[in-house]
Amino acid sequence: MTVRFGIILTFICGLLAGAPAISADFSELKIISGDKIHQFDVEVANTPSLRSKGLMFRSEMAEDKGMLFDFGRTLDVTMWMKNTEIPLDMLFADSSGIIITIARETEPYSTRVISSGGKVKYVLEILGGVADRLGLKVGDKLQHYLIKTK
């Protein structure tokens, strides 16, 4: 089974179980961008069920919050915005946390496929427009307790 099909299948099963609960468990994530450090409180989506629910059905999110998707291994990842009410910036990062692709201001409710553009282990979703406001770019680094640095 391809990862994309597995994610879509898990998403459908999640919908059949009802709307996802909003988790209140946050952990600290930092983005190192040049000489600046940007801090976020993130929820972790590290199971198929949590990854399939993501940030769907949420009508707002603070600029210093986000969701870190941990796929457990490095692979090509595709995402979409179906049932996601707010625009998001998606930061795709390799196993050491280096950002390799940024999808900016993704369109709410869209079923358009958003690709990682290469093999990644993590995706950080933050409020749409925050990546531009902070000047985040490819090559910046995510720091989180789940991300093992080289």
Determine, yes or no, domain membership for 148.
Answer: no
pLDDT band at 150; cut points 50, 70, 90 = low
Which residues partner with 89 through β-bridges?
Answer: 126
Give me the DSSP letters along the chain. Answer: --HHHHHHHHHHHHHHT-SPPPP---EEEEEEETTEEEEEEEEEE-SHHHHHHTTTT-----TTEEEEEEEEEEEEEEE--TT--S-EEEEEE-TT-BEEEEE-SPPTT----EEEEEEEEEEEEEETTHHHHHT--TT-EEE-TTPPP-
Determine, yes or no, domain membership for 69.
Answer: yes
Determine, yes or no, domain membership for 64.
Answer: yes
52-82 residue pLDDT tens = 899 999 999 999 999 999 999 999 999 999 9
Determine, yes or no, domain membership for 150.
Answer: no
Which residues partner with 44 through β-bridges?
Answer: 68
Query: Residue type at 150?
Result: K
CATH of the domain at 8: 2.60.120.1140
| Average pLDDT value over all residues in the chain | 87
Which domain, by its residues, includes 100?
A: 3-143
- State the Cα–Cα distance between residues 131 and 92, nearest whole angstrom: 12
Determine, yes or no, domain membership for 44.
Answer: yes
Determine, yes or no, domain membership for 106.
Answer: yes
Total number of domains constituting the chain: 1
Determine, yes or no, domain membership for 85.
Answer: yes
Q: Residue 137: which residues within 8 A CB-CB, separation 6 or more?
A: 33, 99, 102
Determine, yes or no, domain membership for 61.
Answer: yes
